[in-house]
């Protein structure tokens, strides 16, 4: 990119794409939209307002909100005045939010709704550096003179009083300026503030543009938290290429919105694809023998056809079979996710190869990638011209990857963070001789594709000395559509056990169909018929595991792991140590007869 600065980039693109639709969002049940020109106008107005309210170069501006257009407007306006965006996960507790407000010494925080506003107000009086709280939602009940509405703040920038200052700052901005500080959710300890520059993000934009074709005809569904580098970087790609970003405030409605918006390109985490996969196979279990046979035939034909097309070997007979399979089965799978796709992307956790193959057979390529917040985030990706299922792809352009002595993946390139905010010792321990220590174990195969085996700190070492990667077990067993969540356990133990949260919608339907009476989920998971049912399903999914990797004991839990319960991070990763401590008695009981 000739001018790798996000503030100047969005100004160029809002002028270039003018009357094209930049963003869509729902007010009630009706879709609203903003053109690129209108989007740019709001960014400029807010940038001038930030200057009017005393935001200086290098100041920290907090954004504590769910996904919505105002999030992006605030982000771009902040970058345009050479300040720094500091996102706070919309689901963070008041204590978590206060840590970020304090550590980054935020002077102004934008909030989405009443809940987030109240959390900030609960501690704002004890932080003199926090001068203003701005509410996106005009229904928020404000208190005190430090609070105002986003719409009122925008009006302050309606004149040109601060236009010259804004343009001076915009033009003075450097690619090496810190654009954002993203606090990693972390599974232990206090979060660390990852400093990412304009150049870091612009490298990611270039990396996507090098191997993916994103343009003005594309529609994206913005539903992963913008507080995370993954959705944030992808949204920059969307706007750089004149595509349309559709905002989803409630991720639980993702399937509904996919069918409504019919996105052509989007990023997601594996859980979405696992849920879709489970939905399809749950329906299949209730189908007639003929329909089951038809489905399996169609998926095989779909897979054969896609690989044949990839190798320019699709003959007339196979093409005819595929036409029929697509009309009868495969097209209906695509309808579940809102029709044809330019591409899907997956990252943040491991995705089962079986699920990748299934979507590919339906004509939906899921390009799995890998990265960290510290790498802006992409280190590797699969892409339409080079993909291998079961891997996380090849290194993105200009990024080097190698395997360290202990099997750790190391990365070096223009995507690597500037460092951790106010933590030079942690920075020095994480970036050694320019190489980012990812904390992940992996290999690079003969074709240059990277495969992740596990997190170093998550490796299970049994009492017998066996090294076991729990993520592999969890990915293989967890693909079963009767399983919602799973944590494999066994460190220092004789064998592997597991805590399993059932997919209760599917399980309760099964129980009723089998005539198994239950009054509560607690009663249901203790039924011997249900335990035996899960034991068989676990065995069926464990064929690829070595004997010592297989789950020898398990417990079905009546309640799912949640952020509120402390078991999940804001990015929905299980906090292993928290779960082990919380369920220690249950875990010990699974080893009582050692």
Q: Please name which of 231, 181, 236 lies closest in space to residue 418, comparing C-alpha atoms.
A: 181
Please state, in angstroms and rounded to a whole number, the distance separating the CA atoms of residues 140 and 113: 6
Measured between alpha carbons, how far is 57 from 25 in angstroms, rounded to an integer?
Answer: 31
Looking at residue 186, its pLDDT comes to: 57
How many CA atoms does the CB half-sphere of 87 hold within 13 Å? 31
Residue whose token pair is 């699974």: 590
CB contact at 8 A, 130 and 104: no
* Whole-number pLDDT of residue 571: 76
164 burial via Cβ count (<10 Å: 0-12, 13-18, 19+): exposed
Taking the model in full, what pTM does it have? 0.89
Structure-token pair, residue 117: 């506003």
CB 107 within 8 A of CB 128: no
465 burial (CB, 10 Å; 0-12 / 13-18 / 19+) is exposed
Which residue, among 457, 575, 570, 572, has the nearest Cα to 185 in the 3D structure?
A: 570
pLDDT at res. 570: 78
The pLDDT of residue 188: 53
6-173+212-268 to CATH, choices 3.20.20.70, 3.40.50.12780, 1.20.140.10, 3.30.565.10: 3.40.50.12780
What's the CATH number for 459-590? 3.30.300.30
| DSSP secondary structure code for residue 574 in this structure | B
Among 460, 505, 484, 501, residue whose Cα is nearest residue 583? 501
Question: What are the b/e assignments for 339-354, b being 16+ CB within 10 Å?
Answer: eebbbbbbbbbbbbbe
Nearest in space to 346 (alpha carbons), one of 299, 389, 315, 303: 389
Q: Are 206 and 413 in contact (CB under 8 A)?
A: no
Which parts of the chain have pLDDT scores under 50?
none
Q: Helices (H), strands (E): how many in the chain? A: 22, 27
Could you tell me which residues are beta bridge partners of residue 149?
135
Q: Specify the pLDDT at position 243.
A: 98
What's residue 29's pLDDT?
A: 87
Task: State the pLDDT at residue 283.
Answer: 85
Q: Where are the domains of the chain?
A: 6-173+212-268, 459-590
Contact 551, 476 (CB under 8 A): no
Are the beta carbons of 347 and 267 closer than 8 angstroms? yes
End-to-end CA distance of the chain: 61
pLDDT on residue 594 = 64
Are 5 and 198 in contact, with CB atoms under 8 Å apart? yes
Contact assessment for residue 208 and residue 220, using Cβ atoms and an 8 Å cutoff: no
Main-chain dihedrals φ then ψ at residue 343, nearest 5 degrees? -170, 160
């Amino acid at each position: 990119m000739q001018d790798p600065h996000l503030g100047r980039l969005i100004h160029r693109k809002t002028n270039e794409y003018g009357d094209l639709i930049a963003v869509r969002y729902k007010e009630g049940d009706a879709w609203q939209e903003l053109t690129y020109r209108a989007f740019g106008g709001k960014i400029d107005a807010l940038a001038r307002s930030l200057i009017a309210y005393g935001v200086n170069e290098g100041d920290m501006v907090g954004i504590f909100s769910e996904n919505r257009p105002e999030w992006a407007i605030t982000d771009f306006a902040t970058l345009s005045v050479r300040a720094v965006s500091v996102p706070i996960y919309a689901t963070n507790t008041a204590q978590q939010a206060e840590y970020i407000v304090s550590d980054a010494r935020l002077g102004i925080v934008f909030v989405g709704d009443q809940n987030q506003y109240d959390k900030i107000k609960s501690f704002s009086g004890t932080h003199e550096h926090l001068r203003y709280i701005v509410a996106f939602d005009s229904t928020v009940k404000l208190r005190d003179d430090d609070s105002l509405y986003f719409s009122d703040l925008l009006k302050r920038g309606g004149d040109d009083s601060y236009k010259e200052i804004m343009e001076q700052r915009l033009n003075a901005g450097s690619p090496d300026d810190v654009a954002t500080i993203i606090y990693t959710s972390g599974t232990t300890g206090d979060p660390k503030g990852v400093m990412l520059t304009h150049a870091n993000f612009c490298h990611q934009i270039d990396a996507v543009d090098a191997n993916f074709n994103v343009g003005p005809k594309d529609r994206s569904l913005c539903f992963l938290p913008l507080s995370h580098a993954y959705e944030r970087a992808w949204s920059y790609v969307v706007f750089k290429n004149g595509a349309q970003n559709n905002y989803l405030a409630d991720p639980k409605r993702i399937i509904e919105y996919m069918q409504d918006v019919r996105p052509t390109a989007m990023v997601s985490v594996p859980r979405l694809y696992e849920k879709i996969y489970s939905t399809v196979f749950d329906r299949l279990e209730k189908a007639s023998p003929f329909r089951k046979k038809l489905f399996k035939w169609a998926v095989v034909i779909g897979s054969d056809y896609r690989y044949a097309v990839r190798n320019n070997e699709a003959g007339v007979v196979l093409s005819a079979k595929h036409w029929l399979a697509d009309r009868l089965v495969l097209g209906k799978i695509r309808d579940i996710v809102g029709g044809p796709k330019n591409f899907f992307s997956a990252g943040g956790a491991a995705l089962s190869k079986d699920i990748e193959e299934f979507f590919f057979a339906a004509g939906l390529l899921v390009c799995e990638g890998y990265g960290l917040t510290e790498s802006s985030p992409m280190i590797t990706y699969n892409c339409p011209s080079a993909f291998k299922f079961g891997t996380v792809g090849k290194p993105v352009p200009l990024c080097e990857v190698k395997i360290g002595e202990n099997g750790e993946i190391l990365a070096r390139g223009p995507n690597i963070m500037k460092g951790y905010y106010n933590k030079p010792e942690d920075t020095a321990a994480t970036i050694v001789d320019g190489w980012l220590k990812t904390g992940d174990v992996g290999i690079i195969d003969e074709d240059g594709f990277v495969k992740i085996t596990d997190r170093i700190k998550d490796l299970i070492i049994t009492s017998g000395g066996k090294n076991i990667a729990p993520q592999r077990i969890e990915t293989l067993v967890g693909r079963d559509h009767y399983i919602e969540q799973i944590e494999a356990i066994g460190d220092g133990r004789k064998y592997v056990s597991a805590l399993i949260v059932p997919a209760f919608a599917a399980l309760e339907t099964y129980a009723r169909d089998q005539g198994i009476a239950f009054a509560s989920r607690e009663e249901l998971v203790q039924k011997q018929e249900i335990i035996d049912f899960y034991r068989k399903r676990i065995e069926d999914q464990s064929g690829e595991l070595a004997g010592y990797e297989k789950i020898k004991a398990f417990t079905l839990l009546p309640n799912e792991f949640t952020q509120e319960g402390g078991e999940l991070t804001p990015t929905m990763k299980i906090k292993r140590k928290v779960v082990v401590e919380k369920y220690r008695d249950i875990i010990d009981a699974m080893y009582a007869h050692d």
